[in-house]
């Protein structure tokens, strides 16, 4: 099953696992409205089934609503690994010391989840 970041966060949140807030936008206007609700610096993140979103220009920090609009306009419709970005996730920026990525695979043979 391939799911977007925002969908994974919804599943985790629904199961009582704390995750940072975030909302999905499909237009620059929606992205700006979400950013205004959060206030402060936000991250505009492309939602596609592909790794390397940041390297492809699909993840941008925005310190103002004009930057949110500019990044959303540039990211929406962008191609990343041949996939068109139709949604962006807007999240408040976090002060991060260390960043880690976790992947979960279902090992059918072992009938268990495998964390990578």
Identify whether 105 is part of a domain. Answer: no
Identify whether 115 is part of a domain. Answer: no
Residue 99 — pLDDT band, cuts 50, 70, 90?
confident
Query: Helix, strand or coil for residue 75?
Result: helix
pLDDT tens digit sequence for 50-85:
888 989 999 999 999 999 999 999 999 999 999 999
Identify whether 33 is part of a domain. Answer: yes
Identify whether 104 is part of a domain. Answer: no
Identify whether 99 is part of a domain. Answer: no
Which of 70, 57, 81, 83 shows the shortest CA–CA distance to 31? 70
Identify whether 110 is part of a domain. Answer: no
- Written as six digits, the tokens of 90 are 């807007």
Task: Tell the residue number behind the tokens 């306009």, with chain if given.
Answer: 73
Q: Please provide residue 106's backbone torsions phi and psi, each rounded to the nearest 5 degrees.
A: -95, 115
User: How far is residue 74's CA from residue 45's CA, in Å, rounded to a whole number?
Assistant: 11
Identify whether 116 is part of a domain. Answer: no
Number of domains the chain contains = 1
Min mean pLDDT across 18-27, 73-82, 101-110 is at: 101-110
CATH of the domain at 33: 3.30.1490.20
Predicted local distance difference test score (pLDDT) of residue 90: 99
User: How far is residue 107's CA from residue 116's CA, in Å, rounded to a whole number?
Assistant: 12
Indicate if the pLDDT at residue 19 is higher than 60.
Answer: yes
Identify whether 24 is part of a domain. Answer: yes
Predicted local distance difference test score (pLDDT) of residue 115: 83
Query: Residue 44's domain spans which residues?
Result: 5-94
């Amino acid at each position: 099953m391939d799911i977007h970041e925002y969908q994974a966060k919804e599943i985790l949140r629904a199961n009582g696992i704390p995750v940072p807030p975030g909302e999905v936008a499909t237009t620059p206007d929606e992205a700006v409205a979400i950013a205004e609700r959060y206030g402060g610096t936000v991250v505009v993140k492309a939602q596609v089934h592909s790794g390397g979103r940041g390297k492809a220009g699909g993840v941008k920090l925005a310190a103002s609503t004009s930057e949110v609009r500019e990044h959303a306009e540039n990211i929406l419709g962008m191609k990343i690994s041949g996939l068109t970005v139709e949604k962006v996730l807007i999240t408040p920026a976090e002060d991060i010391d260390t960043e880690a990525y976790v992947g979960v695979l279902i090992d059918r043979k072992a009938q268990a989840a495998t964390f990578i």
